[in-house]
A = this chain, B = another copy of it.
Amino acid sequence: MKIEHPYLMFLGDAPDQLAAKTASGIVHWRRDWCLGQFTLPGCNADLGLPHMDIAAAAAAGCRTLVIGVANRGGVIPESWIPTMVAALEAGMDIAAGLHQRVADIEDVSRAAAAQGRQLFDVRHPTRSFNVGSGERRPGKRLLTVGTDCSVGKMYTALAIGHELQRQNVKSDFRATGQTGIFIAGDGVSVDAVVSDFISGATEWLCPANDPDHWDLVEGQGSLFHPSYAGVTMGLVHGAQPDALVVCHEPTRTHMRGLPHQALPDIQTCIDGHVAAARLTNPAAECIGVAVNSSGLSSDAERRRCLSDIEAQTGLPTVDPVIDGVAPLVATLI
């Protein structure tokens, strides 16, 4: 798959800004790909983009209608369908990050077929993969891992990619989740792959490359999260990372969604992920820590948190949003 841009961002009747979290992430990282937003009555989200209807968006050159919004109750409402059909008829593709496939909606799939347009349900893999081989391949790879889910793994990988590009180092961001896929234009939602093929799908995602090229692979889950560690393990083995960056959110009191499950301490988390990575890349090392400090109440607290982690791990430690990632990139090159 290769999702074409520019995008028209569809927000439907999103009840609040949080429901448009995926769309917000896309606009943050790909502002120049996002020409406008389209909302339905009742929408309470706003991406700060010009409002456009389908005709205006098509005239402006939009190639894809992006549905980056959580739908109420998990089911695509009837009220969204005319917009989707109109976009297809205006020559756009549709890319959606919903659990329900847009390709399963009869009116939408019929219109896509009639117009020769593509439907991308990015949560659902559309191709099959081989099982992972574990064979060493050229090219450098960095994987973000975490003490938990939702601690900044995508953001950190993207920020490192930007910093490498600024320094004229060849690199690609490799997306493993829905928001990342919209930002990259392609990728694999690894948690939706059949479990026999997790590492194989990851090998396909970040294949052999030039020896001085970096793939920045978006991490998923954590080896210490009882729900998702299998996904993380396959991702670590398939990525064969030379470098790991551990992401952390210091105010988390338990693993996301599991009130009974404690977080690992950072050194345990580093050691566990490095040990797993060395199965397919004996040279794997953790090169730094990325902290999402937005939950800390003062700058003093933030500085103390980072310096404590730095002292404990001996690794450069930054909040990518506040400090940037130059100290991490410095250890890469």
A-to-B contact residues, CB < 8 Å = 131-136, 190-196, 198-200, 223-224, 226-235, 237-238, 255, 257-258, 260-261, 272, 275-276, 279-280
Docked-complex contact A226 and B195, CB < 8 angstroms: no
Q: Which residues of B contact A226 (CB under 8 A)?
A: 132-134, 199, 237-238, 279-280
Name the residue among A195, A224, A233 with the largest chain B CB count within 10 angstroms.
A195
Distance, CA A132 to CA B190, complexed state (A): 17
Q: Which residues of B contact A133 (CB under 8 A)?
A: 226-227, 258
Q: Which residues of B contact A257 (CB under 8 A)?
A: 131
A196-B191, A198-B195 known; A135+B260 contact, CB < 8 A = yes
List 12 A-B residue pairs with CB atoms under 8 Å apart, sorted by A's residue number: A131-B227, A133-B227, A134-B261, A191-B195, A194-B194, A194-B195, A195-B231, A198-B231, A200-B227, A224-B279, A226-B280, A232-B233
Docked-complex contact B258 and A134, CB < 8 angstroms: yes
| Closest chain B CB from A278 CB (angstroms) | 11
| Closest chain B CB from A121 CB (angstroms) | 14
| Closest chain B CB from A75 CB (angstroms) | 16
Of all chain B residues, the one with the shortest Cβ separation from A234 is B230
Of all chain B residues, the one with the shortest Cβ separation from A200 is B227
| Closest chain B CB from A38 CB (angstroms) | 30
Docked-complex contact A192 and B196, CB < 8 angstroms: yes
Q: Which residues of B contact A199 (CB under 8 A)?
A: 226-230
Q: Which residues of B contact A136 (CB under 8 A)?
A: 260
Docked-complex contact A192 and B194, CB < 8 angstroms: yes
Docked-complex contact A132 and B233, CB < 8 angstroms: no
Q: Which residues of B contact A223 (CB under 8 A)?
A: 233
Of all chain B residues, the one with the shortest Cβ separation from A230 is B234
Distance, CA A200 to CA B191, complexed state (A): 13
Docked-complex contact A198 and B230, CB < 8 angstroms: yes
Distance, CA A131 to CA B227, complexed state (A): 6
Distance, CA A224 to CA B237, complexed state (A): 10
Of all chain B residues, the one with the shortest Cβ separation from A202 is B230
* In the complex, the 6 A-B pairs of residues with the closest C-beta atoms, listed nearest first: A134-B226, A230-B234, A233-B233, A191-B196, A198-B230, A195-B195
Distance, CA A193 to CA B234, complexed state (A): 14
A226-B132, A258-B133, A260-B135 known; A190+B200 contact, CB < 8 A = no
Q: Beyond A229-B233, A230-B232: 8 further Cβ-contacts under 8 Å? A: A134-B227, A190-B195, A194-B195, A198-B231, A199-B226, A226-B280, A229-B234, A229-B237
